[in-house]
Amino acid sequence: MARAHWGCCPWLVLLCACAWGHPKPADLGGQDVRNCSTNPPYLPVTVVNTTVSLTALRQQMQTQNLSAYIIPDTDAHMNEYIGQHDERRAWITGFTGSAGTAVVTMKKAAVWTDSRYWTQAERQMDCNWELHKEVGTTPIVTWLLTEIPAGGCVGFDPFLLSIDTWESYNLALQGSNRQLVSITTNLVDLVWGSERPPVPNQPIYALQEAFTGSTWQEKVSGVRSQMQKHQKAPTAVLLSALEETAWLFNLRASDIPYNPFFYSYTLLTDSSIRLFANKSRFSSEILSYLNSSCTGPMCVQIEDYSQVRDSIQAYALGDVRIWIGTSYTMYGIYEVIPKEKLVTDTYSPVMMTKAVKNSKEQALLKASHVRDAVAVIRYLVWLEKNVPKGTVDEFSGAELVDKFRGEEQFSSGPSFETISASGLNAALAHYSPTKELNRKLSSDEMYLLDSGGQYWDGTTDITRTIHWGTPSAFQKEAYTRVLIGNIDLSRLIFPAATSGRMVEAFARRALWDAGLNYGHGTGHGIGNFLCVHEWPVGFQSNNIAMAKGMFTSIEPGYYKDGEFGIRLEDVALVVEAKTKYPGSYLTFEVVSFVPYDRNLIDVSLLSPEHLQYLNRYYQTIREKVGPELQRRQLLEEFKWLQQHTEPLAARAPDTASWASMLVVSTLAILIWSV
């Protein structure tokens, strides 16, 4: 899916928001935004009064002798989705958008966010808050320098700034006679008090062995072996991302929306395993599964989540070297480890290992995609019958596809909020329908469905775009060019260890040819019952090189503002390619098994190679999904699948290319017959 763009962490959201090229926010009527220039100001009912909480926050700031306090939009683990108790920026400002930083001084308060959220912010914030239509630390620091006096202190919660973000603030403030001050007690939390939602506390459970690629003991040994081989000989690996700890121990919970994680850190040393989490959440079975009653190198000692900083600091007193992935480590951990005891990489060895699925993990992920295809096909068959009746809307549609997924074996809910968008809504980067606000599906409009599921064996993510009536020639052309892009990238053969960014333009070439393009990335990694946007695999500049065993989405699109949106997204496994001459080459094997919309394909734009690829893919869909539909007596769906995967044949191209094909064929015949 292309919504909260590519990655399990908010900084990626920011990055991708820019890539969308500032699409217009959903226009839900301009009268419902605040107007702070009238006297008294006009405030719509959607606005939250923040005067009391701001006053209380400023009292806390005064106690700490701060001139300003930064309130980021992230949590302590760079999660893509954050829990309610971590929504400090939303609570203090009223503005609930997923991206945006707030800064409070003794006199002013301001929010910086990107274009997706400008209208929403004007609708939710009262006049205590300035809205700055910019992102990044530079504009914030520029503003701070004019707002706070020389010698002033800027406070922040070190668990809410990544190392990079902290460095960027620090660099910008250097030589300015203003100082960054790390305060481990979050000041917003102090003000929020008992109103703050509780931290999740459901039991943490272990995956059944059938759903894991390796035991946690095997994974621990693997990481230790990487530590030993590392030239800087780290004595420990520190894991800060929740997916790292979840993956390492094959444990799951549901602390985070759409992500089956639990709040935790892991310090894996050469002689011990220390898991920081809420101990009361582990049953005796899980404690025994983790060998938590012993203290040897293969025993998991559970320590309290809140102890992580002190424990790391204490460990760092020894003759140790702690290996971290800087992308997911917060300044609050980083600042307690002496620099000479740090071994840094962009991503931790767990992040790098997890990116390459072993054969069992591959089989699991593929199996989840077959069942996921059944759910999506059930929905498409249902839509085909019901859309013409005019009884389906985007929201009820989204609910239905979520329900169909929920009925699949091993289902554990959607992997992100379903994007169900009809007509012009599909052109919005950031659209999901609500019960109150949605659009009816119609045979006169295109419909875009971007959705996925969490299953015990795998996470899925697929986008299909459909038209049940008569699409315009332009819609068919745009759709077909998007499809060509999907095919051209999917069938590309490229050298092992090529970076995604080197090849993602193959998904765009057919669009570029006609002067069309899309403003988002081309794909992202995906996990085994982990993140739907699993970093660091993908096609962006900060993704790592492609390797056999990785899974990535491939999802070109095209968006016509105010009219329609197209995206065709599949998940693909990186596999070895057989080339004519020997070499280490890779290609993709698509594991999403839902046919494209024949009604929208202009066959005359496809080359013989595209047709051949497409028909082979359709044959694979039949082989994978057909038996599953039959086994489950979904005969109507089976019939639909057969119809929609009939081999496509070349049709009359437009006159010009037809003429050129005739010329070439004739010439070929003439020369051949000589």
CB of 429 vs a copy of itself, minimal distance in Å: 18
Site string for a copy of itself, 40-59 (x = CB under 8 A): --------------------
Kindly state the smallest distance separating residue 281's Cβ from a copy of itself, in Å.
Answer: 41
Give dist(CA 662, CA 670) in Å, integer.
12
Burial 263-289 (b: 16+ CB within 10 A, else e): bbbbbbbeebbbbbbbeebbeeebeeb
How many angstroms separate the Cα of 614 from the Cα of each of 29, 164, 363, 365, 571?
43, 44, 23, 22, 15
Q: How far is the CB of 401 from a copy of itself (least distance, A)?
A: 32
Nearest distance from residue 603's CB to a copy of itself, in Å? 9
Q: Cα dist. 177→13, 86, 149, 202, 436 in Å?
A: 32, 31, 9, 47, 50
If one asks whether residue 514 binds a copy of itself (CB under 8 A), the answer comes out as: yes
562: tokens are: 């105010």
Q: Which is nearer to a copy of itself, 513 or 646 (CB)?
A: 513
Q: Is 364:458 a contact under the CB 8 Å cutoff?
A: yes
Closest approach, Cβ 526 to a copy of itself, in A, equals 23
**Type of residue at 58:** R
Q: Which is nearer to a copy of itself, 581 or 633 (CB)?
A: 581
**Closest distance between a copy of itself and the C-beta of residue 506, in Å?**
7
Q: Say how many residues make up the chain.
A: 674
What would the x/- binding string for a copy of itself be over residues 296 to 335, using CB under 8 A?
----------------------------------------
- DSSP codes, 245-289: HHHHHTEE--SBTTB---S-EEEEESS-EEEES-GGGS-HHHHHH
Cα separation of the two ends of the chain:
54
- Within 266-358, residue ranges assigned H as helices are 284-289, 308-315, 331-334, 349-355
Instruction: Number of residues interacting with a copy of itself: please give it, by CB under 8 A.
Output: 45
Instruction: Give me the 620-659 binding string for a copy of itself, x by CB under 8 A, dash otherwise.
Output: -----------------------------xxxxx----x-
CB atoms within 10 A of CB 41: 12
- Indicate the SS3 state at residue 413: strand
**Residue 492 in the binding site for a copy of itself (CB under 8 A):** yes
Cβ-contact 268, 236 below 8 angstroms: yes
Q: Please identify, using beta-carbon distances, which residue of 150 and 581 lies nearer to a copy of itself.
A: 581
Q: Restricting to residues 335-374, which ones interact with a copy of itself according to CB under 8 A?
A: 339-340
CA atoms within 13 A on the CB side of 23: 26
Give the interface segment with a copy of itself, choosing from 189-197, 248-256, 388-396, 575-583 (CB under 8 A): 575-583
- Please tell me whether residue 617 binds a copy of itself under the rule CB under 8 A: no
Is 513 a binding residue for a copy of itself by CB under 8 A? The answer is yes
Nearer to a copy of itself, 314 or 661 (CB): 661
Q: Is 19 in the site for a copy of itself (CB under 8 A)?
A: no
Least separation in angstroms between residue 508's CB and a copy of itself is 8
505 in contact with a copy of itself (CB under 8 A)? yes
**Residue 268 tokens, joined:** 């894996």
Residue 146 interacts with a copy of itself (CB under 8 A): yes or no: no
Which of these ranges, 198-206, 323-331, 547-555, 605-613, lies near a copy of itself under the rule CB under 8 A? Answer: 605-613
Enclosing H/E stretch for 587? strand 585-590
The residues of the shown chain that bind a copy of itself, judged by CB under 8 A, are 175, 339-340, 492-495, 498, 501-506, 509, 512-517, 579-583, 585, 608, 611-612, 649-653, 658, 660-662, 664-665, 667-668, 671-672
